[in-house]
Chain A
């Protein structure tokens, strides 16, 4: 699975959009971009994933560049509860009985400040 690079930490003002970048320049054509986050002392939580089109759900938006070498996770209106470590992971999507494992990098520690 392709390697990802993320900034170590970022700050964001409460109520503003948080834009978290991720570089994955060696991504293959069949690899998806997944985003998870981990609030302190909890298990990771799935946020969103995509292949090449931009995606949006109730939690966030995922913008993937046309060459797929980088992506940005957008939290449109960050709250204090969004303070967490955000992980960008690239991997091939397995079949439903194959359950592909996730390898976590260091992630970005996002601090949302009042």
Chain B
């Protein structure tokens, strides 16, 4: 079945640095990927829709200059948290839609970011 891989699974960084998270569709092509963020004890919050070859579409309240998304190929989307601060510490999850089938989203295992 469809597999989405995220890397790294855990990352710790210092405040002010930037962190890049990769999301890969391993056995299918994904023209569209979605990035979510989840704080402890809360539900997933959609951050943005990543479109291959074009600019990402950000949800209301999500800073596009803070969370840079690049979808350069049909199998890779990256999320870069720029100038990270402790409040950016969260669980970041990507998902992708397969080109065929029932419009089911396949999710990655998530990346836990801790900003010190």
A7 surroundings in chain B (CB, below 8 A) = none
Contact B46 A99 (CB under 8 A): no
Interface of B is mostly: strand
Q: Within the complex, what minimum Cβ distance (angstroms) separates A39 from chain B?
A: 10
**Could you tell me which residues of chain B, from 99 to 113, have a CB within 8 Å of some CB in chain A?**
99-110, 112
B34:A102 contact, CB within 8 angstroms:
yes
Partner of B99, one of A41, A97, A104: A97
CA distance A105 to B44 in the complex (A): 8
| B111 (CB) vs chain A CBs: closest residue | A43
Q: How far is the CA of A106 from the CA of B43 in the complex (A)?
A: 5
The answer to whether B75 has its CB under 8 Å from any CB of chain A is: no
Q: How many residues of B contact A (CB 8 A)?
A: 31
* A residues contacting the other copy or chain, number (CB 8 A): 25
Within 8 A of B (CB), among A75-114: 85, 87, 93-94, 96-107
CB-defined contacts of B45 to chain A, threshold 8 Å: 104
Contacts of B99 in A (CB 8 A): 96-97
Assess whether A107 is in contact with B107, with CB atoms less than 8 Å apart: no
How many Å lie between the Cα of A110 and that of B41 in the bound state? 14
B31-A42 in contact (CB<8A) = no
